[in-house]
Amino acid sequence: MDGDNPLLDDFVVSLARTRTQPRICFVATASGDNDGYIARFHEAFPPARAQATHLKFFERTVGDLRKFVLEQDIIYVGGGSTANLLAIWRLHGLDRALRAAWKRGIVLAGLSAGAICWFKHGVTDSLGHRMQRLDGGLGFLHGGFCPHYDGEAARRPALHRLIRRGFVPTFALDDGAGAHFVGTRLREIVSSRPKARAFRVTLKRGSVVETPLQVRYLGA
């Protein structure tokens, strides 16, 4: 989903238990089930690459969410409003279905809001015009997450401000970088861009500290 650069998408597909044409479901709740976004996903994952489907909530047609989710190899969550995504998922019970999928080893992936949602906390602009802390994520992963660390000018200073005010230790990733967790353990950081960076951002003796994390460029 990184323009014409398929490296991260290819990496996600490589993690699926089914090696040939894995079943991949796009969840575009954060964008209000935007039809154009869904169409771009299907263009990125043609039948030769995967068995692609999508899940809508504004025009919901899937009755048994748990059964549907557990039939997939990969759940891929799009960007948009993290706050709205979480509220809608909990209303429909998708949060419980996703936890069951996570426990069974189904790949859970996403970008922007689709990356924040797996953590307990995050940095978001979905609560208004200003970057704010978001609490009450799904909490599959501990700590906080901040995407677009180099891609949006307000992200880094907002995270530093929050950290100084007692925000949890946070993973901060540049655009093009992805964190691969197995269970709750970070296995590695990968990237589709050669200069993409990743940090663990914490507070030490009153100062914000960015600890660089090793990043493996997928195009090497």
- Whole-number Å distance between alpha carbons of 115 and 156: 17
- The yes-or-no answer on residue 112 being catalytic is yes
Lookup result for tokens 């967790």: 181
- Whole-number Å distance between alpha carbons of 171 and 69: 27
Given the residues 31, 148, 191, 192, the one annotated as active site: 148
Q: What are 205's two structure tokens?
A: 């003796």
Q: What are 123's two structure tokens?
A: 């940095």
Q: What DSSP line would sit under 73-104, residue for residue?
A: SEEEE--S-HHHHHHHHHHHTHHHHHHHHHHT
Given the residues 31, 54, 81, 112, the one annotated as active site: 112
**Per-residue DSSP letter, 136:** -
- The yes-or-no answer on residue 148 being catalytic is yes
Q: How many residues does the chain have?
A: 220
- Whole-number Å distance between alpha carbons of 16 and 26: 15
**Which residues carry out catalysis?**
112, 148
